[in-house]
Structure formats: C-alpha cells, structure tokens
Amino acid sequence: SKMTVKAVKMPCTSANVYTKVPDGGWGWTVAFAFFVVEALTYGIIKSFGVFFNDLMESFDETNSRISWIISICVFVQTFTAPLSTVLSNRFGHRLVVMAGGLLVSTGMVIASFARSVVDMYVTIGIVSGLGYCLSFLPTVTILSQYFDKRRSLVTAVASTGECFAVFSFAPAITALKEQIGWRYSMLSVGVLQLGITACGSLLRPIVIREQEEVKAQPPEESTETKYMLENEQTCTSIESIDSGVDITTSPSNVPGKTKAEPKSEEPKQHGQNPAESNSTPPEPKTKLLDFSVMRDYSFICYAFFGLFATLGFLAPSLFIIPLSRSLGIGKDHSAYILSAMAIAEVFGRIFAGWVLNKKPIRKIYIELICVVLLSVALVAFPFASGFWGLMICSVYFGFMLGTVAGTHIPLLAEDDVVGIERMSSAAGVYVFIQSLAGLAGPPLAGVLVDTTKNYSSAFYSCAAGMVLGAVFLALVRPCKTGLCHQQQQQQQQVERSTAGPPPELPDDFIDMDIGKAENSGKGSDSV
C-alpha cells in the first residue's frame, strides 16, 4: 500500500508524526518562524554597521577594537554550535530556541547601558552571541527535516529574512538614532529581539515513521515439497562429471538424515515467541553529537570551505558604510547602499533556491560557481568611485552573497557532503569550525584598515579568503567519489585480510554426492 502523509499529534511532546517527509504541512509554519529568526539574528548582526561610527566616537576607540564586538559575537555563536546540537537533541529544538531568544534580547538591552567597549564584548559578544547560536542553528536544522524535494527552495526563501531586516533596519535605525540617540535605539532593537522566543514556540518536533505493510502469507507447503524446491534453487551442477549430478546442501543429502527437519529459525518466528515477531525492533538511541563526520574527507573539505569563506561574509557588511563615508557619501545615502545590498541578496537567495531545486543537478558545482563569482565581487569594491559605482558593486555583491549564504548550511544534507541522517551533528561541527574565521575576520580587516588607512584592504582580505574557500569546495566531490574512495577500499581490503579466511566445509561434505555420481555412472555403463 502507498505510504500516506498523515500527521498525528503526540500527547507528551506535541510532535508531528508523518509516514514520510511531508514537504509542507506544519513545515510552512516552521519556515515562517525561520524567516523571523533570520531577521532578528543575522539581520541585526549585518545591520550593526550603523552603530559603528557612534561607538567609535562615544568610546574613543579604533576600527579594530570596535570590530571585535561583532567578531566575538560571531565567534561565540559558531564556537558553541556543538553545544546547540547537544541541547537540541537532549531537550528539543523548541526550548533551546526560546532560551536563545531570551539571551539575545538580554545581551542587547544591557549593551545599551554599556560604558566601555569591554562591556560590549561581554554583553553583545558573549551573551547575545550564545543566544544567536541557540536560536539560529536549531531552527534551520528542524526546517530541513520538514522538507525533502523542496528543501533548497524553501530554505533559500525563508533565509531572506535577514535581507529584509537589513533593508528595513538600516534606514530605520539610522532615522531612530537621529531622534533618540544610539543607546535607546539599541535598547529598542533588544526588545524587538524577544520575538525569537515566540518563534521558538512554533518549532513543533517531527517524527518520521514508515507505514508498515501487511502482506498476506501464502499457505504453508508440506516439508517435503519445501525442500524439493530448496534443492532446485540451491543445487550446483557439476557439468564436467555429469549434467544430472547435483550437489546440494539440504538436509536430505546429509548422511543419517532420512527426514527433512525444519529450520531452527522458523520456530522463533512462528511458534515460540509471536510477540517478538509482531513488535518493531527498538529504535537506536540518537547520539547527542556525532563526531564521526570528521572521518569523512568530503566533509573536511567542506568545513575548510566554510572556514575561509566566512572571512568574506560579514566584513563587507560592516565596512560598507565606513567605506562610503570615506568616499564623501552622506549618512542617508550610505544607508541606502546597505539596503540595496540586502534587497539584491533576497533575489540571490531565491534564485539559488530555484536553481538548486531543479533535478537532475549537481548542487555542489552550482555552489562553486557562485563562490567564484562572489570572489570577483569582493575584488571589485576597491575600484568603485562615487555613489553609483559603490551602489553597483553592492548590488552585485549582495546578489552573489545571497546565492552562497542561503545554501551553504542546507547543502550539508546532500549526499555529496554528509546526507540528511547526519545533518544535525554535521551542522554543529561545521559551524564550530567556522568560529575561527568569525573571530579573526573582522578584526583582521580592521587592523589592515588601521595600518593602510584605506578600506580597500579589508575587501582584498575577504576576497583572498573566498578564493581559498573555492579551492576546498572544488575538492568536496572528488573526495567523495575519487581518490579518497580508493583509500577507503584499501582500508576495507586490510580489514578483510586481518579477519582471516572464511570457514571451510568438511571434506566429506561434497564427496558423498560425487560418490553417488560415480556409482550411478558405473551402473549406467554396466547396463
């Protein structure tokens, strides 16, 4: 019988139970929740550049020291990703995301009363950074579980929440600062981020249980007929002696066995313990964190791609407004450039999701093309001059950023990387490895700006990291099916050799039938 998509509400966990991945249903509500969570997490992080000059003036600090605020935040967010995976597997995605929303809001509200940049390191960097991790990663993980065929498209569209947030928050916060100052503006952002907690309450767990098919059992055949059929199916003919001589392993040809005896497995299935045959085997316990993905060469290459590509994700959004101000562009027009980048990123995410949803297509190669084009966009920024030149570069960069940023984590669920079964643990380890680049990226760009007195150096460093990421991304597919696969085969051969040869059958096991064949041959000759 065909499996049907049927949702059942479990009384204890309020989980949705399906017989297969629904590709919809409550998943649309989860997609909406992910949209809002994206807006209130990465959307706020990318919009933090509007506070950049205000913090430098209020605390009398340099670019690099102010950059450490977001750097520590991103580092904590990515470094604690395994903790998010463990807590989600232990307590469920819903409670973890709700707790993360409280931490994000608390850190941002306290930061509005900060008296030094060190206070910002603790409040936004550590407290909000941990909340961002507990909010974002479980949401994108459970969204991937609700969709299969539409996973790439739905995830890409839902991830546009951060783009709409940057588009709307950057001008709104800029206008709000003119009225009430940057401190009360930051306080308002912190209160708004309480919406993450409401979105976390919508993340209902999902359970996939395949529908059992009841097959009509054929009437039992007599024991003699059964073994006659068995002999016909398992016999091996020795054509070099006589085409009619069969060598079988059935009990009827074993000396001393005049009657066929039933197999020892049958009473266990039909007679001795019927309860065990009807009950399903116990499900294996889910590991809180599976580090076995680290033995997968394709995942290692993909993790290095994420490590270097992260250098080019956040720094341009932080330095685009200071770059525009250095070119003589006003505050309002600088905010418009950041908003245009966010809108272009929306179209980039939707375009990437639409392309990756096509079948058949090798998604890892599409991602590689987008990463290469994103590197070109980063190199183009230093050559921009004036408002419209910077606007064109920002739109191009935003579009290409959308094609990569909205798909690099969901691609972990593809078979070219680790697959959907290990996606939860792989996402935790993957984001954990990204933490190093998240910690070093913005401060490195800030140091280069302070040293060269030119914002172009920040974009060059981002482009260098993106190019290295493209190199490792190009190695993912070959490691899955090429050179590394040969190493796995060699390892399997070594294991087989150490296991020893298979048990040999006794010598007289086949001699019996060969003797019969010789006797029958002599008898026919005498006749």
343 vs 167, 182, 375, CA distance in Å?
A: 6, 25, 19
Using only C-alpha atoms, the chain has a radius of gyration, in whole angstroms, of 32
Tell me the percentage of the chain whose pLDDT exceeds 90: 13
Tell me the percentage of the chain whose pLDDT exceeds 70: 70
**Among 421-430, 446-455, 498-507, the least confident range:** 498-507
**Among 257-266, 285-294, 315-324, 327-336, the least confident range:** 257-266
Q: What pLDDT is attached to residue 438?
A: 67
Question: Between 423-452 and 63-79, two packed helices, what is the crossing angle to 10 degrees?
Answer: 170
Highest mean pLDDT among 36-45, 288-297, 491-500: 36-45
The verdict on whether omega for the bond into residue 360 sits within 30 degrees of 0, i.e. cis, is yes
| CB proximity list for 142: less than 8 A, separation 6 or greater | 30, 93, 203, 205, 206
What is the β-pairing status of strands 16-18 and 206-208? parallel
* 206 backbone dihedrals φ, ψ, rounded to 5°: -125, 140
Tokens coding 22: 């629904």
Cα–Cα distance for residue pair 254/216, rounded to 1 Å: 34
Instruction: Count CB atoms within 10 A of the CB of residue 445.
Output: 29
- DSSP helix/strand/coil, 207: strand
Residue of 472, 458, 167 lying closest to 312 (CA atoms): 458
Instruction: Count CB atoms within 10 A of the CB of residue 365.
Output: 14
The larger pLDDT score, comparing residue 506 to residue 27, is at 27
The larger pLDDT score, comparing residue 502 to residue 310, is at 310
- What average pLDDT does the chain have? 75
pTM: 0.60
Residue of 110, 253, 271, 134 lying closest to 191 (CA atoms): 110
> What integer is the mean pLDDT of 364-392?
87
Cα–Cα distance for residue pair 133/287, rounded to 1 Å: 20
| pLDDT tens digits, one per residue of 436-468 | 776 777 777 778 887 888 888 888 888 888 899
Name beta bridge partners: 206: 16
| pLDDT > 90? residue 426 | no
Q: What pLDDT is attached to residue 77?
A: 84
Domains of the chain: 16-210 (1.20.1250.20), 289-495 (1.20.1250.20)
The larger pLDDT score, comparing residue 210 to residue 318, is at 318
> What integer is the mean pLDDT of 503-525?
54
| pLDDT > 90? residue 306 | no
What is the β-pairing status of strands 236-237 and 246-247? antiparallel
| pLDDT > 70? residue 380 | yes
Q: What pLDDT is attached to residue 163?
A: 78
Question: Between 27-40 and 151-158, two packed helices, what is the crossing angle to 10 degrees?
Answer: 40
- Measured in residues, the chain has a length of 527
The verdict on whether omega for the bond into residue 282 sits within 30 degrees of 0, i.e. cis, is no
CA atoms within 13 A on the CB side of 270: 8
Tokens coding 137: 């990663």
| pLDDT > 50? residue 2 | no
Q: Using an 8 Å Cβ cutoff, are 190 and 108 in contact?
A: yes
Q: Using an 8 Å Cβ cutoff, are 206 and 145 in contact?
A: yes
Q: What pLDDT is attached to residue 217?
A: 52
Instruction: Count CB atoms within 10 A of the CB of residue 514.
Output: 13
**Among 118-127, 177-186, 222-231, 302-311, the least confident range:** 222-231
> What integer is the mean pLDDT of 363-389?
87
* Residue 501 banded pLDDT, cuts 50, 70, 90: low
| pLDDT > 70? residue 246 | no
| pLDDT tens digits, one per residue of 192-237 | 999 999 999 988 887 777 655 444 455 554 455 544 544 544 444 4
> What integer is the mean pLDDT of 106-117?
92
According to DSSP, residue 124 is labeled I
Q: Using an 8 Å Cβ cutoff, are 392 and 400 in contact?
A: no
Cα–Cα distance for residue pair 377/463, rounded to 1 Å: 8
Cα–Cα distance for residue pair 100/162, rounded to 1 Å: 17
| CB proximity list for 502: less than 8 A, separation 6 or greater | none
Q: Please give the biggest Cα pair distance in the chain.
A: 119
Q: CA 65, 444, 431: angle at the middle one, nearest 5?
A: 100
| pLDDT tens digits, one per residue of 136-163 | 888 888 888 888 777 778 888 888 888 7
Q: What pLDDT is attached to residue 192?
A: 93
Name beta bridge partners: 246: 237
> What integer is the mean pLDDT of 52-58?
87
| pLDDT > 50? residue 344 | yes
